[in-house]
Amino acid sequence: MLKLEGVHTHIGAYHILHGVDLEVVQGELTVLLGRNGAGKTTTLRSIMGLWRVAPGRVLFEGDDIAARTTPEIAHRGIAYVPENMGIFADLTVRENMVLAARGARRAEDIDARRLDWIFGLFPAIKKFWQHPAGLLSGGQKQMLAVARAIVEPRKLLLVDEPSKGLAPAIIQNMITAFRELKQTDTTILLVEQNFNFARQLGDRVAVMDDGRIVHTGRMAELADDEDLQQRLLGLSLAAHQ
Amino acid sequence: MTVSVAAAAAHETLPAVKPDRLPLLLLPALALVALPFIGSFSTWVTLTVAGLAMGMIIFIIASGLTLVFGLMDVLNFGHGVFIALGAYLAISVLGLMGDWTASENLLLNLLALLPAMLAAMAVAGAVGFAFERVIIRPVYGQHLKQILITMGGMIVGEELIKVIWGAQTIPLPLPAAFRGSLLLGEAAVEKYRLIAVVIGLAVFAAMFWVLSRTKAGLLIRAGVQDREMVESLGYRIRRLFVAVFVAGSALAGLGGVMWGLYQQNVTPQMGAQVNVLIFIVIIIGGLGSVGGCFIGALLVGLLANYAGFLAPKVALFSNILLMVAVLLWRPQGIYPVANR
Amino acid sequence: MAFINRLLSGDLPRSRVLTAVLIVIVAALALAPFVFPGAKALNVAAKVCIFIVLVASFDLLLGYTGIVSFAHTMFFGIGAYGVAVALTRLGPSWPAMGAGVAAALALSLGLSLLIGLFSLRVKAIFYAMITLAVASAFQTLASQLSEITGGEDGLNFKVPEMLTPGFSLADAPFLGVAVDGKLISYYLLFAIALALFLVMLRIVNSPFGRVLQAIRENAFRAEALGYRTVVYRTASNVLSAGFATLAGALLALWLRYNGPDTSLSFEIMIDILLMVVIGGMGTMYGAVVGAALFIVAQNYLQDLMKLASDAAAGLPLLPDLVHPDRWLLWLGILFVLSVYHFPAGIVGRLRAKK
């Protein structure tokens, strides 16, 4: 569904991505692993058109979207959950959701069944519907960010470190939510540093280092191979819980 | 396990939602503080209404500017040109309606004023559209160039106004039915000022409605906080920006008409003069905040009138002193917009 | 050659055309009384000298440190008023003039320090708006405090005897020009302006100047490298204000008059902006080229415009468009075009063509 070919991204004077080749298969959850500064967030942002790709190709369903604007890319059915969650703090939870639902003018226009499903995944959203989103806890904001991305069906989800800074109980909640999401045949590209989180959800895995993909394969293989984990991810990552 | 975790999460309580009402209290506070100094209650009423009227007009003019900045990080140093344009257009249009404005009939006066205001808004909006296209669009994101270029745009605009209408001050008399004052008890309140307050409140109410009840308003409020995220959600925020810019320019035109009537004359420099005032107001209010702009504008209006009465020499600096005081209290302005 | 290098603090023009232009300008200014007869020409030359200093001081702030400040004319005005008030109150003597300049400098340095410390912590846009407001307030203040400043009418005053036109150093004219106070004034002006310019050139080419440029390029990086940007920016602000003040003092000395419009008007601020942008920001030489070009054009081009306007009389809009009073319209258009198409100004353009 999504294919990056030789993607280079420069931010100012810095050359961050050095020819990234990545493939995301439809219906699967692909995890992008790597240590801090490897270029994972930059990759997502480049796909989303927030950073410019030059040279390189980003093929989504066969079309090269590398030169398209961010709103255009979003319109093709790609949803982005950024690292900082991108929650509009002064807006209520309800308003955040209405905004994310492009087809809706008001909350009543959102597909009721879908909304109920989301409430089931993330009860906090229902509970704090009318409250300013800025008052939510970190975990709740994260859930809102994901909820926004799925309020309408999307073809591809780009999620950046959803487990970052969350308490273990909440992380478990998040894992359950993503598992349910996978069942709806949504394609997901997930960036993570928490290997434990990643191995429970990932079908495929790609490891990034210094702006390049250094390993791709099935998650099951990597999960079983401790030596490989050590080599690719180093002690710090495998120790992440 | 999921159920219990979810339940636990649901039982978390949120801190009570406390809207920040403190700055609103500044208005009555200022008014009340001024009362003992002024002495006479009726004079106080007159001055307060005058201050509110002036504040409303400033708000109308400045609201567009602050939204434009909050939304797109563009500071238009040339905003003053729309004010002047609106005022001069009013002169031309009202000039055509001489007999209606001379009449004592309130309705006829309003019918004469309405086209003037609409013409001012339409032309200012159109010029705003061109301004955004030609002058601002090429320099998005480059603050230094924006400042220089929009300033250049204002210079050119001011000179063009002089070419079309001439460089001298032109009187702008109020329509007949708007002249004079109403007596509220012992206080004499100028009719025009009351009308200005009403119009100002109407504009504020309309803005408030659009911002809080429509999706476009939602987009604007979200865009002011995090433009990138709004684009990632699939909205072409540039189009929205143009719309806001045009609306802001149109409002400035309307404000220009009202300001011209308030001063009862227009000069080509009026844009530059009001420019300084509106910058002070939006700094006080917090760049990007309509509510802050409203409060800031009213504060400036009230203070200018109270100080003008109590200590005319200080009056000219009262704005700067107010700005310094507010910035010392809240360095980002009264209602700073959430950081991007 | 090495001497020239030292004099210019290693900041050579780096372009044949530019070097030629600069030599012509400097020579013209040095020999103005002899080469361009008449009071008007001398006035123009004096104004060019003064504005070179003023614009260069603005370039220090804008071009080298990247700060937009609309308060520059305020410091210009303080310098002018300092001299004006001192010579009016204390009489036309050298010590009085010295006192005036000293007082003006003290006020400027104090104000610029205050503004710098208070406002440089905020975003650039804030700062620009605040300086606009402050300058506007100051202009109003100057016209209000009429007992001190002479209000709207300004102050007319006498200068020390040696500088008055009546004073005569030699009986016989030298190369056709009377050796009087006016000549002495002019050369005093020229010498001081030249010296001030060279000092500024030194400053921007010193380690301090390089840090300023680093801050202009990327303030975060500079801060990360350990430079306290607020300190440097404030220093730049203060230096710039100081030089502007001195330029103002020179202006007052030359005109023997000062009023709110002479030095504080917003038009002058705009003129400075135009000169620095058209000449070339961040080059210092841009100030020389920009000031010379602008002021010469301002004085002589308007005559041209008058001819055009008279010729076009009778046609609908045209005579108004080219009326000499509408000088600023064309300047404004040129300014906007310069910001777009000549971001490096004339000097940048000349240097680019190698």
Q: Are the beta carbons of A133 and A84 closer than 8 angstroms?
A: no
Taking the CA of residue B153 and the nearest CA in chain C, the distance in Å comes to 7
Choose among B323, B285, B287: nearest CA to B303: B323
Residue contact A74–B232, C-beta within 8 A: yes
- At position C354, the amino acid (one-letter code) is K
pLDDT digits (tens, 9 = 90+) for B128-143: 999 988 888 888 877 7
Query: Looking at residues C84-94, what average pLDDT do you find?
Result: 84
Residue B136 per-residue DSSP state: I
Query: Looking at residues C233-250, what average pLDDT do you find?
Result: 93
Taking the CA of residue A139 and the nearest CA in chain B, the distance in Å comes to 9
Chains touching C (at least 3 CB pairs under 8 A) are: B
Ramachandran quadrant class, A83 (left: phi over 0; alpha: psi -120 to 50; beta: rest): alpha
pLDDT (0 to 100) of residue C288: 92
Counting one residue from chain B and one from chain C, the pairs whose CB atoms sit within 8 A come to 93
What are A187's strand-pairing partners?
A156
Work out the pLDDT band at A238, boundaries 50, 70, 90: very low
Q: Are the beta carbons of B192 and B261 closer than 8 angstroms?
A: yes
Number of helices (H), then strands (E), in chain A: 10, 10
Residue contact C133–B151, C-beta within 8 A: no
- At position A46, the amino acid (one-letter code) is S
C107 backbone dihedrals φ, ψ, rounded to 5°: -60, -45
- Please say if the pLDDT value at position C295 is more than 70: yes
B229 touches chain A (CB under 8 A): yes
Integer Cα distance of B49 and A144 in angstroms: 46
pLDDT (0 to 100) of residue A79: 93
Q: Are the beta carbons of C308 and C318 closer than 8 angstroms?
A: no
Residue contact C126–B283, C-beta within 8 A: yes
Ramachandran quadrant class, C10 (left: phi over 0; alpha: psi -120 to 50; beta: rest): left
B313 touches chain C (CB under 8 A): yes
Q: How would you class B122 by CB atoms within 10 Å of its CB: exposed for 0-12, middle for 13-18, buried for 19 or more?
A: middle
Residue contact C321–B163, C-beta within 8 A: yes
Chains touching A (at least 3 CB pairs under 8 A) are: B
Residue contact C137–B283, C-beta within 8 A: no
pLDDT digits (tens, 9 = 90+) for B44-95: 888 888 899 999 999 999 988 888 888 878 888 889 999 999 999 888 888 8
B255 contact partners, CB below 8 Å, separation of at least 6: B57, B58, B60, B61, B83, B86
B279 touches chain C (CB under 8 A): yes
ipTM surpasses 0.85 = yes
Residue contact A148–B233, C-beta within 8 A: yes
Q: Are the beta carbons of B263 and B69 closer than 8 angstroms?
A: no
pLDDT digits (tens, 9 = 90+) for B235-287: 998 888 899 999 999 999 999 999 988 888 888 888 888 888 888 898 888 88
Choose among A144, A147, A143, A159: nearest CA to A194: A159
- Please say if the pLDDT value at position C74 is more than 90: yes
Interface test with A, best of B229, B230, B237, B238 (most A CBs within 10 A): B229
Residue contact A90–B338, C-beta within 8 A: yes
